[in-house]
Structure 1
Amino acid sequence: MSTTALKEAPAKGRDLITPHWRQHAKEIQKYGTVIRDLPIGLSEEVRTEITARLNILLADTASLRDLYKKSHWQVGGPTFYQLHLLFDKHFAEQVELVDLLAERIQILGGVSLAMAHDIAENTRLERPPRGREEVPVQISRLLEAHKIIIEDARALAKKAADLGDDGTNDLLVSNVLRTSEMQVWFISEHLVDMPLVHAK
Structure 2
Amino acid sequence: MNQQFNAPAPLQKYGTVSQRLPIGLDADTRQKSVEMLNQLLADTCSIRDMYKKHHWQVVGPTFYQLHLLYDKHYEEQDALVDMIAERIQILGGVALAMAADIAEATSIPRPPKDREEAPVQVSRLLEAHQIILKNAHDYAKKADDAGDDGTNDLVVSNVMRTNELQVWFVSEHVVDTPLARAE
TM tier relative to shorter chain: over 0.9
Structure 1 residue 37: Cα displacement: 4.6
Q: Which residue in 1 is equivalent to 2:134?
A: 151
Per-residue displacement from partner, 1:113-133 (whole Å, max 9, x unpaired)?
000000000000101110101
The reply on whether 1:111 has 2:94 as its aligned counterpart is yes
1:51 maps to amino acid: V
Structure 1 residue 39: Cα displacement: 1.1
48, 56, 59: which one aligns with 2:42 = 59
Note if contact 1:37-1:44 (Cα within 8 Å) is conserved in structure 2: no
Specify the SS of the correspondent of 1:190.
coil
1:24 maps to amino acid: A
Aligned equivalents of 2:20, 2:49: Cα separation in 1: 35
Structure 1 residue 35: Cα displacement: 0.5
Aligned equivalents of 2:178, 2:16: Cα separation in 1: 55
Q: Which residue in 1 is equivalent to 2:74?
A: 91
Specify the SS of the correspondent of 1:191.
coil
Which residues of structure 2 form unaligned runs of 5+?
none
41, 45, 58: which one aligns with 2:24 = 41
Note if contact 1:143-1:188 (Cα within 8 Å) is conserved in structure 2: yes
The reply on whether 1:161 has 2:141 as its aligned counterpart is no
Aligned equivalents of 1:117, 1:195: Cα separation in 2: 38
Specify the SS of the correspondent of 2:61.
coil
Task: Tell me: higher relative CO, structure 1 or 2? Use CA pairs within 8 A at least 6 residues apart.
Answer: 2
Q: Identity of counterpart residues, as a percentage? A: 66
- The alpha-carbon distance between structure 1 residues 195 and 63, as it changes in their structure 2 partners (threshold 3 A), is closer
TM-score normalised by the chain length of structure 1: 0.85
Structure 1 residue 36: Cα displacement: 3.1
TM-score normalised by the chain length of structure 2: 0.93
Q: Looking at CA atoms only, which structure, 1 or 2, has the larger radius of gyration?
A: 1
Aligned equivalents of 2:15, 2:27: Cα separation in 1: 12
- The number of equivalent residue pairs is 178
Note if contact 1:34-1:109 (Cα within 8 Å) is conserved in structure 2: yes
1:130 maps to amino acid: K
Aligned equivalents of 2:19, 2:64: Cα separation in 1: 51
Aligned equivalents of 2:23, 2:100: Cα separation in 1: 31
RMSD in angstroms over aligned alpha carbons? 1.8
Structure 1 residue 195: Cα displacement: 9.1
Aligned equivalents of 1:129, 1:194: Cα separation in 2: 25
